[in-house]
A and B are shown apart, each in its own frame.
Chain A
């Protein structure tokens, strides 16, 4: 792949990337979420088309316009979310989309025989007549591999294949991957787990913000090097920090357990304490329980056990409205889903919190004069760029919607501020402004929590940094002591070394 560039509205997902994979090797694409790994591979698999650049297969340029096209060129992909039909058998799943030897009729006998052969050759232990819904996650993944092998894939893309596996399953699958490479296939391994990358790879390419930031091999690098390449861009201007005396703890979380959408504990025995006048950053790769934690604090998700105290009051199972009254302001992760109503205009979104209390509402009627003057003031104060306070919110840019939400939340005068991914997808100018605003909360004596995947953001804003992995806090470091390496390591599941506390 040469000079691949792909733009999405507002994002440069892939910026002039060169990448190659040779027969018999495992070449890793390493990067944080959103670094552009998946985009690159979706282009290779024909799901997206590149805006610029070309793809060469066996030295010849090719146009990959659809998955079918990519398959025909010998490219197979093991998707992060399995592409299997649970109600069908293994053989049916494998034969889907294939030309049958019997014309319009399926030929499951031939398919089954081939599956058994392939399964034996590579030690996959896949049985063609089983229904997929009966299989374990590890078995399903091997079905995915069979699917690709059956189509004679010479290049296999493995999109975070270990994300859903248990450690022993990971060991097993690595043996299979090596065997596939030895058999002459080229493997592209996508991951952000440093240990696994070093274990499996022949070559490593690191991506950040859609650009290649490093090419190396396991022999030349160790985990620290990789972590630096993965997260290390030049530090942005950190907001000016005034010395602030921290006060009493305003947010206390004790032994908290919260279930995720899929039932199992997403937050497991978490303890945290945030004091007045300090900012605690929570770093970590998303999907490690941050969303569930935020929702539990905000009252949107009921914890299974444990205790949450805000401003001295137990709010563990309280309703969101009550928690707000106690003094929580919440900037949610999904700004357009949970943060603002896209079809409302700016002023309506600005009074969402207190539209049913004075002065905006008297005797059940909205007081528009009061609402307008309040909105005008906030829009000016928080530099929200909008044609007017009557503009429909969803037409504003991401950064301005976020500023609007910040304006609403901060104008409530919080005791505790909880901001989740406050600058994700926001342009740099707006991001800096939002950082400034959050930072100012320290002087007000607010206890702030900033949850972010962006390590730079966490390090610039926080007084203390907690790293979350698999629903637990791996460790908490003071900002002065924090290095990208130490945080990067904890983000991938390494316990904090005792010395650096």
Chain B
């Protein structure tokens, strides 16, 4: 047994020495690690940050390492610490549930820059920055369009748990819908889970039964809700990524995050020697939030116009989404 362990560690050591990351460490490439709760191609939250880094990779040499699917926080914490130990320059903890772990780990690695989101809290640490998306802005725009589209006067929202990015989006959506039509019935259902796809599907059906004829929703489990909406041909507004692929017939538009906008800022600050302590935010105005329309969906011109008007209003500050 002891012998076996010895061989194992020897082999492991050799592997580390020969790995491309070790070879590149001598070069100038920036080493960035992403730890995220769901799959990197989830067409949602995790994919958005991966796409963000990949966008930057076009202009700059970045060595990227990804640990995805860590919905268990302890696993994520181990990965965060591991990357810091291996000498990564920037470690991105992409999930609001990782904050507690990061608060404990970051002080042990003062030379590593950590960023996490979505959140506005840097714990007062010099090497932790936070980032968030003003998803209430996209939500507001979607809400305006949904209310403009609804014939029955009812819209429905499927949410996970009332926290973070999801809460921002949902609140913005309801606000926008009410702004468009004060009499709209905007019903919100937080199903209590980020992962129960079947329950999300039934939540969408419950909305439709209760008279909603336009739906939206946020978080990984909404694929179920989209499926249910698709079966009844009920229009859907997406967020966190372009969800057109999931249901080309019904997806009207999606709020998409372009994290590269703030990632560029974080990296620029790092170049200038600032490893943290700052808060970053993407929004419609800085181009970090983009509303992508599904060209295949025949959208009433007046609805699109209402949407564009809302976007312009938010950008110039004449419209407030209700969030601080």
Direct touch of chains A and B (CB < 8 A) = no
Q: Which residues of A contact B (CB under 8 A)?
A: none
Could you list which residues of chain B lie within 8 angstroms of chain A, going by C-beta atoms?
Answer: none
